[in-house]
Structure 1
Amino acid sequence: MVRFGEYLDQRTRDEWDTKYLDYKGLKDLIKEAQKEIESQGTVAFSPRTTSLTVVRPRAQKPADERFFEKLESEMAKIDKFTKAQLSTLKKRVKSLREQVKDVKEGEGNSQLTQEAKDIGDEFLALEKFVNLNYLGFHKILKKHDKVLPHAPCQQFYLSHLHQQSWVQGNFSDFLVMLSSIYSKLRGDVSGVKNEDSAQGFVRSTTKYWVRTTDISAVKHHILQHLPVFQYNQGSDDQQDYQLVNSVYLDNSSMELYHGRLDKRPNAIAVRIRWYGDKDPPTTCFVERKTHRESWKGEESVKERFTLPEDKMVPYLEGEYTLQQAQRDLKAKGKSPDEIEKFSKLFAEIQQQIDTKQLRPMVRTQYLRTAFQIPFDSTVRISLDTNLTMIKENPTDGPTCTVAGRWYRDPALPLPRTEVTRFPHGVLEVKLSLPEGQKAPEWVADLLDSGYLTEVHKFSKFIHGTATLLPELVQAVPYWVDDESVRPSMLQSAPAPPQNIGAPAAQQSMGAKPRRRTNADLDELQHPLLGDQPTLQLMTPKDATGFGKGKEKKGFFDWYFNSRKPKDPQPMARTTPMRIEPKTFFANERTFLSWLHMAVTIGSIAAALLGFAGVTESHKKPDIRFTDYLVETISLILLPVAVLMCAYALTVFIWRARAIAKKQVGHIDDRFGPLGLAAAVVLALTAILIISIVDFAEQLKAKEPHHATPAAPPLAAPATWLPTQRSSLRGLPFQDHLQQA
């Protein structure tokens, strides 16, 4: 991770060190206040009445009062310093933007690029400065309430702290200006549009969690390579984000939720989306997402059409018919092709809403920042922050259907059990690359930086439904066990049931209900969360920064991942997912299949060796390699069987370790089976060649002699005939004749 002050020189760091929160001074005041209380024995008396004509004695201010005064002065000091630094950075970036205007498009100036990078790095260092002070205020307030419990102030001052301009400031315009500078230097302002319908493209979409403290660093890295998409171009208020609301429909059995969770073929999700902060919105998008199995070569489909806001409720109730919609489109001058495409989707979704009895259930709301070159869809990235999920139908109020609305009435109160705020940003990387082409190096650096945690198939709809409607769901996603999301889910959990008679006793005594504090968080119990979490988001110590660290690899990782040609770098460290038992069994079945083949080949070779040893009791004096044909075949097959056993065991251990770590990714070995197949082919080829040579020699030995042999000597018949017979009946008979 980038350390604070890494991009600043020593002089600047020394200046910034004096602007930090005086944590030690505040801590000393707390100790002094504690000693004053101990010396007094009880809390000092404070009269509830006063008089304007009676002069109160002036004495030294108590330590507790001086603590609050110093706390206010520290807030003002940090606020003043932060504003000054931001003002300086904005002046520098505006000046740089004027310089970039004179540069021809695409002719990147290395000096200007470095200046832009330095400005971005200093902004990140300033954000780190703000975060350290923000954390310091939290810690000192918590310590105050712990040491001085009679005068708690944490709750009040935290609310006061959150309203400070250096905490709640919006600096989107700064990032937009920086993005335009990088875009001008790269030359991606104009170009030829890349048709997304081109054949031979491999499309992949991966989702990641980003810690709040790392969001600016991730944005800065991305905008150096992709421009920020501006939703309000031409406006004075430049922003790098847009508010997005999506209302998801489902029925009482949560059919759509479970279908998307289980990734069933053709599982759908129906939602109504609108952009901007207008209430009510003017234009709504009715969308349907259909899941398709990627391993079959199919792609999931997202379809949508637009409807005016005043037509949404009639459409959901079936009162706004297709004929009426077609008449409205014709009045707007739409073409027959557009009307036909609209009509098909309009009718299908309306039929599904009617047959499945779909109603508004959960809403997701977030700020989306998009990064993409307008004419190139090779790499598209979106970052969603301030992610909030809301229960559309209030527990103690009329549902949307009863109230005649298609989304929750904003005038109704929003209890904590009907809203959940996701603690991380959600980054989505969409790659559309020609087959065989790797992702750009900067994308690999981003994914391997440690700032991202891959969460396979993460869904805002699924998370919101599982958190806010736990009594209706029958299964939950694997990421609910992550320690980083547990507090946010517990905030939405109902309080445990009180003892019987306790409320009545409180009412009889006239006691007011106790206000819930942060300390009561542990008392909340969410039905989806167990006692012990099984997953954990990557901690900051695991972050290595962009291109600054490499993961250590074991022997099996080196063997399978370091060969040429190298596979694309892994996307990023992933949040572990639940591993089904069938995954382990599949690994074992693969191992046993390889082992079965190896045992079969080895058994054949061993049987041939045993047969050769029993049948051959002697060899001819003129030994040829074809005389040992059986032994040769066995010695060729046995090493192949041993090699196959070794390979099967190696792959089994490698995959078992990856599964045990719950980091299952692409663990396919493309070269091992090819190598074994080549070894088997070579062995069979060698056996074929040896067999052909042996067959040729046997044919040559059985050929008749056409030339007339010379007459043998007189003694020849006595020795020649037994010799020929001895080759047929054995050596003892030949020896007997020779002795005779």
Structure 2
Amino acid sequence: MKFGVLLDDHLFPEWRFYYLDYNELKRQLKVRTAANPQGKFAEQDEAAFVEILERELEKVASFRALKSDELERRVAHAQAAVDSILSSSDKPNETRMRAVEDELNKIATEMTELSKFVRLNYTGFMKILKKHDKHAGFQLKPTFMVRLAHRPFYKEGDRSVDSLVIRLSRLFDIVRTGGIRPPAVLPGGASQNFVRHTTKYWVHPDNITEVKLIILKYLPVLVFSSKGGKEFDPAITSIYLDNDAFELYLGRLEKTEGAEAIRIRWYGNMDQQEIFIERKTHREDWTGETSVKSRFAIKEKYVNGFLSGTYTMDKTIAKLRDRKQKSDKELDEMATLSREIQLSMLKRKLHPMDFLGYGFDHEEDIVRFPYAVLEVKLQNQAGSESPKWVTELINSHLVEEVPKFSKFIHGVATLIESRVTMLPFWLPQMDKDIRKEAPKRPPTALDLPSSSKRHLSVSPSVEVIIDRPSSVASTSRPNGPVSERTPLLARQEEDEEEDDDEQEQQKGKKSSDKRFPWRSLFASGSGTSLHIGAGGSAHPNAFLNSMIARENAGRTLQQQKRIVLPVRVEPKVFFANERTFLSWLHFCIVLGGLALGLLNFGDYVGQISGLIFTVVAMIFMIYALFLYQWRAHKIRNRDAAPYDDRFGPTVLV
């Protein structure tokens, strides 16, 4: 689809005259090149085109700034209206609350449209600059990118958008609950064990704002604060542990029974004094147990000692027991968990995988994860269904399900790929566009009134987490060239090269992607940034080129790596193996009973026959046990080889 058609299909009708006039710019480009005998721009043509482009930029940037200020004022006005309603009487006025709710819905809708407005216009500018540089004979893009740096409508107020989302979430929550404000959530909560059904989805950068605004209409944004009244920080930092053999990585990747993941986690800023050490244990369905996450809190100053084995939690647990801050059962579980984790770390020689040393420190060497990660955690009561809005969201075009996705597995497979022998199944799919065709302006959840309090009886059992984490090893630099600081928008310029005069280039890109499936991973730019060294928000060409060189040099090695696909082993497979074993035992019992009768009541020949039958029955029993254990081992390891024994029965007969 041509970008001009795409723009017409997806623009917001009320803002039609504030979008980039892409078709007019294309017409100017075509007319002015056709008027020149050489098919290129003259100097006066270039000056006129730049002037038109400047006017378009000023129009778009001014509208973006105006609309952002308007949304800020409308949210502030809604906040004042809610405060007025709550302070006017003990019981909030439902009519006034409903009016505020309608206004919040309109604000949420316009925030979604503003996000699309920014994205479409930025893509339009990049495309028209590319066309100009290709046909006009002048290189305008480098110069115009400097101009964009002074009117950065595409990155202006990213923090303010997040702030607006949180403020909207609070207002929706007040309207939904009738003004009963929930207490602030302490980092980590009080529970040490969690048993929930978790599904993970990828969200394309184009859809992040819309997904956020849909969710906040039903669930408040979870903000962690160590002390009430302090400024919130929604960051969650995790450091995973593993050994040089990547034992935990392989266990989590293959989903073997009892596979563990051990990590250090804290909430908020880097100066947090309370750190959580967590252990996630995978359980197969056939065991009848459920995968569980367990954790305990430890002070930051004791973490290094705990990792090295020089510090134990005994003194801390004794203090908590003396102060009666936790029950004896909770403290006993905490002591057992800390000893098990520490023993596992020392026995397996685990160490933090994020603190690896690198022999270089280049800003260009950044591996970007191109999507946000949406986690949907459900803990429904028996017989109850998931909330309707959750079902509609996960079945919509906004998300793409990725079973068993793990940031730890992805980070290891991407950053330390040369040291692992197996890769996750989603890695070869990273160069594919996960966006789905959406109907032209359909009514969405944003256009509908949010649920009232009586409709949310099952909401406390739902937890939705959108991960847009920052870098794993470093943070982005605040200043830099404008062309290198557009992570949320970089992918679309490459993904939508579908104009007629770009088809040839697209073919070349596709063939290159087939040779180098990592290309779109490095060329993309939102979601998690996996940095190597202390990098900033830099252009990834250098690292991409080095990866291509490595790929050419070590293609044979790459072909030897195995992609691990998620394979679900049904419990009935184990039951079938057990039934086969019991069938063999039944035959052995019959044979043994016959032997016992001959030994007790037969003559000399009968006794000899009974003895032979006894030996045969024992051989059959031993063979049945061996066959059962052999098949059970293959099932647990998801072996794709045949499970039948072609020679055993023949030898026995």
Relative to the length of structure 1, the TM-score reads 0.51
Inter-partner Cα distance in structure 1 for 2:143 and 2:344: 48
Q: For residue 13 of structure 1, what is the amino acid of its counterpart?
A: P
Identify if the C-alpha distance between structure 1 residues 268 and 140 changes in structure 2 by more than 3 Å, giving closer, same or farther: same
The reply to whether residue 92 of structure 1 matches residue 45 of structure 2 is no
**Radius of gyration: which is bigger?**
1
1:471 equivalent among 415, 418, 436: 418
Q: For residue 117 of structure 1, what is the amino acid of its counterpart?
A: N
Q: Does the 8 Å CA contact 1:249/1:361 hold for their aligned counterparts?
A: yes
The reply to whether residue 115 of structure 1 matches residue 108 of structure 2 is no
Q: Does the 8 Å CA contact 2:252/2:260 hold for their aligned counterparts?
A: yes
2:173 equivalent among 170, 180, 183: 183
Q: Does the 8 Å CA contact 1:208/1:452 hold for their aligned counterparts?
A: yes
2:277 equivalent among 282, 286, 299: 286
In the alignment, what sits opposite 2:402?
Answer: 455
The reply to whether residue 132 of structure 1 matches residue 125 of structure 2 is no
Q: Does the 8 Å CA contact 1:423/1:488 hold for their aligned counterparts?
A: no
Inter-partner Cα distance in structure 1 for 2:134 and 2:547: 18
In the alignment, what sits opposite 1:167?
Answer: 155
Deviations 1:85-130 (A, max 9, x none): 1222222232233333416459474443323212211221222211
Identify if the C-alpha distance between structure 1 residues 423 and 334 changes in structure 2 by more than 3 Å, giving closer, same or farther: same
Inter-partner Cα distance in structure 2 for 1:63 and 1:220: 44
3-state SS of the aligned residue for 2:418?
A: coil
3-state SS of the aligned residue for 2:370?
A: coil
Structure number with greater CO (CA < 8 Å, separation at least 6) is: 2
The reply to whether residue 446 of structure 1 matches residue 393 of structure 2 is yes
Question: Could you tell me how far 1:518 is from its partner in structure 2?
Answer: 10
Q: For residue 20 of structure 1, what is the amino acid of its counterpart?
A: Y
Identify if the C-alpha distance between structure 1 residues 493 and 332 changes in structure 2 by more than 3 Å, giving closer, same or farther: farther
Question: Could you tell me how far 1:244 is from its partner in structure 2?
Answer: 1.9
Identify if the C-alpha distance between structure 1 residues 491 and 5 changes in structure 2 by more than 3 Å, giving closer, same or farther: closer
The reply to whether residue 255 of structure 1 matches residue 254 of structure 2 is no
Q: For residue 81 of structure 2, what is the amino acid of its counterpart?
A: Q
3-state SS of the aligned residue for 2:218?
A: coil
Q: Does the 8 Å CA contact 2:108/2:213 hold for their aligned counterparts?
A: yes
Inter-partner Cα distance in structure 1 for 2:280 and 2:143: 43
In the alignment, what sits opposite 1:204?
Answer: 197
Inter-partner Cα distance in structure 2 for 1:328 and 1:491: 53
In the alignment, what sits opposite 2:311?
Answer: 320
Q: Does the 8 Å CA contact 1:106/1:186 hold for their aligned counterparts?
A: no
Identify if the C-alpha distance between structure 1 residues 340 and 435 changes in structure 2 by more than 3 Å, giving closer, same or farther: closer
State the Cα RMSD in Å: 4.8
3-state SS of the aligned residue for 2:101?
A: helix
Q: For residue 204 of structure 1, what is the amino acid of its counterpart?
A: H
3-state SS of the aligned residue for 1:21?
A: coil
In the alignment, what sits opposite 2:358?
Answer: 395
Question: Could you tell me how far 1:191 is from its partner in structure 2?
Answer: 9.2
Identify if the C-alpha distance between structure 1 residues 350 and 159 changes in structure 2 by more than 3 Å, giving closer, same or farther: farther
Identify if the C-alpha distance between structure 1 residues 179 and 288 changes in structure 2 by more than 3 Å, giving closer, same or farther: same
Deviations 1:660-697 (A, max 9, x none): xxxxxxxxxxxxxxxxxxxxxxxxxxxxxxxxxxxxxx
Q: For residue 293 of structure 2, what is the amino acid of its counterpart?
A: K
Equivalent runs, 1:489-500 vs 2, <5 Å: 489-490=518-519
3-state SS of the aligned residue for 2:337?
A: helix
Question: Could you tell me how far 1:257 is from its partner in structure 2?
Answer: 0.4
The reply to whether residue 359 of structure 1 matches residue 351 of structure 2 is yes
In the alignment, what sits opposite 1:217?
Answer: 210
Q: Does the 8 Å CA contact 1:489/1:526 hold for their aligned counterparts?
A: no
Larger CA deviation: 253-262 vs 433-442: 433-442
In the alignment, what sits opposite 1:367?
Answer: none
Inter-partner Cα distance in structure 2 for 1:293 and 1:528: 40
Equivalent runs, 1:5-24 vs 2, <5 Å: 13=13, 16-24=15-23
Larger CA deviation: 337-346 vs 208-217: 337-346
Deviations 1:629-663 (A, max 9, x none): xxxxxxxxxxxxxxxxxxxxxxxxxxxxxxxxxxx
Inter-partner Cα distance in structure 1 for 2:100 and 2:551: 53
Inter-partner Cα distance in structure 2 for 1:353 and 1:94: 51
Q: Does the 8 Å CA contact 1:270/1:286 hold for their aligned counterparts?
A: yes
2:376 equivalent among 415, 429, 441: 429
Q: For residue 318 of structure 1, what is the amino acid of its counterpart?
A: G
In the alignment, what sits opposite 1:344?
Answer: 336
Q: Does the 8 Å CA contact 2:425/2:566 hold for their aligned counterparts?
A: no
1:143 equivalent among 131, 134, 143: 131
Q: For residue 474 of structure 1, what is the amino acid of its counterpart?
A: T
Inter-partner Cα distance in structure 2 for 1:355 and 1:530: 36
Deviations 1:674-724 (A, max 9, x none): xxxxxxxxxxxxxxxxxxxxxxxxxxxxxxxxxxxxxxxxxxxxxxxxxxx
Identify if the C-alpha distance between structure 1 residues 125 and 148 changes in structure 2 by more than 3 Å, giving closer, same or farther: same
Inter-partner Cα distance in structure 2 for 1:335 and 1:72: 65
Q: Does the 8 Å CA contact 2:284/2:290 hold for their aligned counterparts?
A: yes
In the alignment, what sits opposite 2:234?
Answer: 242
3-state SS of the aligned residue for 1:181?
A: helix
Structure 1: gaps spanning 5 or more residues:
44-59, 363-391, 398-411, 495-514, 532-576, 594-740
Question: Could you tell me how far 1:182 is from its partner in structure 2?
Answer: 2.0
Identify if the C-alpha distance between structure 1 residues 528 and 271 changes in structure 2 by more than 3 Å, giving closer, same or farther: farther
Identify if the C-alpha distance between structure 1 residues 78 and 301 changes in structure 2 by more than 3 Å, giving closer, same or farther: same
Question: Could you tell me how far 1:458 is from its partner in structure 2?
Answer: 0.9
Question: Could you tell me how far 1:23 is from its partner in structure 2?
Answer: 2.8
Q: Does the 8 Å CA contact 1:423/1:484 hold for their aligned counterparts?
A: no
Inter-partner Cα distance in structure 2 for 1:179 and 1:119: 12
In the alignment, what sits opposite 2:288?
Answer: 297
Inter-partner Cα distance in structure 1 for 2:285 and 2:66: 52
Kindly, what percent of the aligned residue pairs are identical?
Answer: 33
3-state SS of the aligned residue for 1:471?
A: helix
2:298 equivalent among 282, 298, 307: 307
3-state SS of the aligned residue for 1:287?
A: strand
Question: Could you tell me how far 1:218 is from its partner in structure 2?
Answer: 1.4
Q: Does the 8 Å CA contact 2:368/2:522 hold for their aligned counterparts?
A: no
Inter-partner Cα distance in structure 1 for 2:45 and 2:131: 15
Inter-partner Cα distance in structure 1 for 2:386 and 2:303: 42
Question: Could you tell me how far 1:163 is from its partner in structure 2?
Answer: 7.8
Question: Could you tell me how far 1:463 is from its partner in structure 2?
Answer: 1.0
1:265 equivalent among 257, 267, 270: 257
Question: Could you tell me how far 1:138 is from its partner in structure 2?
Answer: 1.9
Structure 2: gaps spanning 5 or more residues:
1-5, 184-188, 435-512, 524-539, 557-563, 581-653
Identify if the C-alpha distance between structure 1 residues 139 and 254 changes in structure 2 by more than 3 Å, giving closer, same or farther: same
Inter-partner Cα distance in structure 1 for 2:398 and 2:265: 29
Identify if the C-alpha distance between structure 1 residues 155 and 269 changes in structure 2 by more than 3 Å, giving closer, same or farther: farther
Question: Could you tell me how far 1:282 is from its partner in structure 2?
Answer: 3.6
Deviations 1:375-426 (A, max 9, x none): xxxxxxxxxxxxxxxxx313316xxxxxxxxxxxxxx55552xx42211111
Q: Does the 8 Å CA contact 1:29/1:63 hold for their aligned counterparts?
A: no
Deviations 1:192-241 (A, max 9, x none): 99x999xxx9942211111111112112222222222233597696x7x7
In the alignment, what sits opposite 1:228?
Answer: 221
Identify if the C-alpha distance between structure 1 residues 335 and 230 changes in structure 2 by more than 3 Å, giving closer, same or farther: closer
Question: Could you tell me how far 1:259 is from its partner in structure 2?
Answer: 0.4
Aligned length: 448
Larger CA deviation: 172-181 vs 429-438: 172-181
Q: For residue 13 of structure 2, what is the amino acid of its counterpart?
A: R
Identify if the C-alpha distance between structure 1 residues 393 and 147 changes in structure 2 by more than 3 Å, giving closer, same or farther: farther
Inter-partner Cα distance in structure 1 for 2:261 and 2:272: 22
Q: For residue 395 of structure 1, what is the amino acid of its counterpart?
A: Y
